[in-house]
């Protein structure tokens, strides 16, 4: 397995696909969003700093996330590849990553904004990290994995989602051209089911 980035708008399904890739190829799934939310939950200084940005649907400053990803990539479990979900998100983050890592492929999970709004509007998450969509829960309100009560992420409120999509267009979308110029981009149209999209992801990874 190689060093892979998952690109895509908020709610495109990066986290869902990254978890499947991590399981299939036995590599760590590194989500900056998950790391930041864990720090918020634990009340760390990093969490306290990040919360105001996340709650507003804005990006956490580059130096903060670059520092935490650089540290994470030095860990032993990253030696044989990893999947980055939600990082990089700006050109300076991509440039910083290029200085410390050899990225082999950037997979762009491509979903129209109207589909995304439906996905985020129905997302339910668990403290254990599992993610669901209400349409698949049949009224169940507890996590199928650990039994804890599911909840709606604070930044999935409609007004915050609108801002996250705007921030994505302005700051993250340029990364598509950045990786295309490096010959490392694979775009997957991702309006199908989770399994259909994962089959396409596997084709790209096994190629
Ligand atoms: P982060 O947690 O990275 O959020 P995001 O990029 O906005 O992405 P999401 O987690 O919302 O969506 P996703 O694409 O993973 O979709 P998911 O698989 O859950 O970041 C949160 C915040 O942290 C940012 O706003 C920022 O403030 C900060 N941050 C993080 N990284 C940063 C960085 N590098 N720099 C600066 N700030 C940073 O799927 C969504 C829903 O759709 C789920 O309900 C799922 O079940 C469902 N679903 C998935 N696939 C399908 C499908 N094929 N069909 C139907 N439903 C589907």
Model confidence, pTM: 0.93
Structure tokens at 194: 């989770």
Q: Whose CA is nearest to atom 50 of ligand 1?
A: 13
Whole-number average pLDDT of the chain: 94
- Name residues contacting ligand 1 (CB within 6 A): 8, 10-16, 31-33, 36, 53-54, 57-60, 65, 86-87, 89, 93, 119-120, 122-123, 131-133, 155, 164, 193-194, 197
Beta-carbon neighbour count of residue 186 at 10 Å? 18
Distance CA 79, CA 82 (A): 8
Residue of 7, 8, 12, 15 with the most ligand 1 atoms within 8 Å of its CB, for mutation: 15
Q: Answer yes or no: are the C-beta atoms of 110 and 189 closer than 8 Å.
A: yes
* Domain 3-27+80-111+159-206 belongs in CATH node 3.40.50.300: yes
Question: Could you give the count of Cα atoms lying within 13 Å of 72 in the half-sphere of its Cβ?
Answer: 21
Residue 171 is predicted with a pLDDT of 97
Q: Is the pLDDT of residue 166 over 80?
A: yes
Summarize the confidence of residues 169-191 as an average pLDDT. Answer: 96
In whole angstroms, give the CA distance from residue 117 to residue 34. Answer: 20
List, for residues 71-105, the tens digit of each pLDDT value: 999 999 999 999 999 999 999 999 999 999 999 99
pLDDT tens digits for range 47-71: 999 999 999 999 999 999 999 999 9
Instruction: Tell me the domain boundaries of the chain.
Output: 3-27+80-111+159-206
Non-local CB neighbours of 74 within 8 Å, separated by 6+ positions: none
Residue 37's pLDDT is what?
A: 92
């Amino acid at each position: 397995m190689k060093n892979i980035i998952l690109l895509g708008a908020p709610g495109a399904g990066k986290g869902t696909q990254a978890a499947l890739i991590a399981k299939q190829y036995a590599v760590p799934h590194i989500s900056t969003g998950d790391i930041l939310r864990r720090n918020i939950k634990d009340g760390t200084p990093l969490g306290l700093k990040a919360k105001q940005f996340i709650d507003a649907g804005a990006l956490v400053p580059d130096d903060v996330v670059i520092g935490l990803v650089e540290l994470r990539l030095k860990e032993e479990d990253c030696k044989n590849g990893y999947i980055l979900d939600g990082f990089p998100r700006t050109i300076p983050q991509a440039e910083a990553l290029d200085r410390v890592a050899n990225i082999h492929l950037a997979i762009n999970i491509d979903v129209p904004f109207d589909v995304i709004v439906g996905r985020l509007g129905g997302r339910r998450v668990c403290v254990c990290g599992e993610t669901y969509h209400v349409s698949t829960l049949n009224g169940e309100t507890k996590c199928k994995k650990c039994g804890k009560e599911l909840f709606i992420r604070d930044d999935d409120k409609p007004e915050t989602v609108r801002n996250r999509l705007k921030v994505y267009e302005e700051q993250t979308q340029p990364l598509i051209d950045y990786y295309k110029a490096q010959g490392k981009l694979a775009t997957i149209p991702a309006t199908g089911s989770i399994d259909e999209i994962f089959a396409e992801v596997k084709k790209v990874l096994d190629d």
